[in-house]
Amino acid sequence: MTERESQQSDMPDNSAVETNDSDSSPDEERIPLEEESSTDETISVEASGASMDDIDRLLLDAPRNQRSSLIRDHLAERVGDDSLEWIDDLARRAANHGLTIHEVRSIVTDLAWISRDRGERLPSDTAPVPSSAGEYYELFRLVRSYALGQRLRFDFKFDSLRDVSQHWLSEFDNDALILSFVAFAALGLRLPHGLDLYERAINAPDADRRTRHVCLAGMWLAYHVEGQAEKMLELSGQMMAKGEIDENVFFRRASALRKLKKYEQALQEIDHAIHMLGIGNNAVHQDYVRERESIILSMQLQRHADSLAASISAEVVERAEKRIEDASAALTNRIETAQRVVSDSLLKIVEILGLFVTLAGFLIGSGVVVFKSSTFNERIISMAMVIVGSLVFFVLLRVVTGFRRKERHGARSK
């Protein structure tokens, strides 16, 4: 996956803001109205030709669930001129119209994406807050921090985001979105405490849709975390259960399912993401299509690997069986040869013993004849018989041993 692909896929869901307007509800804590001040600037609205007062009146008369989209659309016209005045403008309107912190986060996220898309310079964390902020100094600082944090997050500036967000934590008392920035940077840098920060962010009391999107994007990058895909599915499932459904959620789920080798489910998720994506988001559409191609390629590679493994397994089994068969035949041959050698040895021993018994009988009989011979000639004849018998015995013994030796030599040569 390319860096461009990752960046584009983090695009905030503008359609969700227009329809649901950022997680607001009547009982949420709202930023109190700022007292009217003569120092407030008036800014012309190029689209309608109305003054700032006209926009304020529209906001006062508009339903609460439409205020975010009105402010966002109004400020979006000024994003990209490198003045970055839209940031303080947003903070001022948030104070004037009592926007909830969730509405502020949603508007900042969308405008920060537009700012990045138009190549606007990064906000400065050290730029002084205007004196007109008055008692809302902290709100102005928070909005600026949100804008810078989202810009650094979109561009994957992990080191820079870690450095500034660590300072923000102490300044804004563990704000959930700030926590998510810290977790995103830590996960991107593969720091050991990244997972703990991730858990803190998603479980923070003021966590909302924007916070969870940052955390989901961070986990999407955290290939080093054990159970990464399962954690992505768990968080995205929680978001869907809360009604926080948009194309990016389905995109992340498709990526997680691909890593778990659940390719059919992954295809369903990415197809749903493509279906939900608005017209005109060509770069994001290309990233979604690339994810779909990755799923299909992974599926094909898995099938090829399975087929190759089965083929190799069959070949290995066949070779093993052939070797076992050859070894068994060789072992059987050796056993038969050993048995034949033992049998021949025993037979030879029996034959030799038989010759010795015969010789013993011959000698005993000859001795008896010699002792019973009365004349000299009879004794000479008896002795001659003994000598001839002995010679015959040795000849027979030689014949027997020589014949067996020839048999063994013939068997070996075969």
C-alpha span between 324 and 334 (Å, rounded): 15
pTM of the entire predicted model: 0.68
Q: Identify the sign of the CA torsion 84, 85, 89, 91.
A: positive
pLDDT at residue 132, rounded to an integer: 86
In degrees, to the nearest 5, what angle opens at C-alpha 141 toward C-alphas 14 and 27? 60
Q: What is the percent of the chain where pLDDT is above 90? A: 49
Query: Given the structure tokens 């896929």, which residue do they identify?
Result: 9
DSSP helix, strand, coil percent of the chain (3-state; round to 5): 75, 0, 25
Predicted confidence at residue 118, as pLDDT, reads 93
Q: How far apart are CA 349 and CA 347, in angstroms?
A: 5
pLDDT band at 201 (very low <50, low <70, confident <90, very high): very high
Higher pLDDT pick, 274 / 339? 274
pLDDT band at 324, cuts 50/70/90?
confident
Sign of CA dihedral 18, 22, 26, 29: negative
Are the C-beta atoms of residues 22 and 107 closer than 8 Å to each other? yes
**Mean local confidence (pLDDT), 54-70:** 82
| pLDDT tens digits, 169-200 | 889 988 999 999 999 999 999 999 999 999 99
pLDDT at residue 233, rounded to an integer = 97
pLDDT of residue 406: 58
In whole angstroms, what is the distance from residue 412 CA to residue 156 CA?
79
| pLDDT computed for residue 252 by the predictor | 96
**CATH class, range 3-305:** mainly alpha
> Using one digit for the tens of pLDDT, what is the confidence trace for 207-231?
999 999 999 999 999 999 999 999 9
- Select, from the ranges 38-42, 90-94, 388-392, the one with the highest average predicted confidence (pLDDT): 90-94
- C-alpha distances in angstroms, 325 versus 313, 318, 332, 364? 18, 11, 10, 58
pLDDT tens for residues 365-378? 666 666 666 676 76
Q: What pLDDT was estimated at residue 203?
A: 96
Under the banding of pLDDT at 50, 70 and 90, the label for residue 38 is very low
Helices (runs of H) and strands (runs of E) counted in the chain: 16, 0
Which of 91-105, 181-195, 233-247, 372-386 is the least confident region?
372-386
Residue 65 and residue 45: Cα distance in Å, rounded?
A: 22
In the chain, the amino acid numbered 300 is: Q
Average pLDDT, the chain: 81
Is 4 or 410 the better-scoring residue by pLDDT?
410
**8 A C-beta contact, residue 225 and residue 219:** yes
Average the pLDDT over 95-115 and give the result: 94
* pLDDT single digits (tens) 286-311: 999 999 999 999 999 988 888 888 88
Q: Which of 111-115, 121-125, 350-354, 367-371 has the lowest mean pLDDT?
A: 367-371
Q: Rounded CA gap, 214 and 139, in Å?
A: 21
- Please check the confidence at residue 270 and state whether its pLDDT lies above 60: yes
pLDDT confidence of residue 33: 35
Position 410 scores a pLDDT of: 56
Give the type of residue at 205: P
Query: Where are the domains positioned within the chain?
Result: 3-305, 306-413
What are the tens digits of pLDDT across the range 152-162? 999 999 999 99
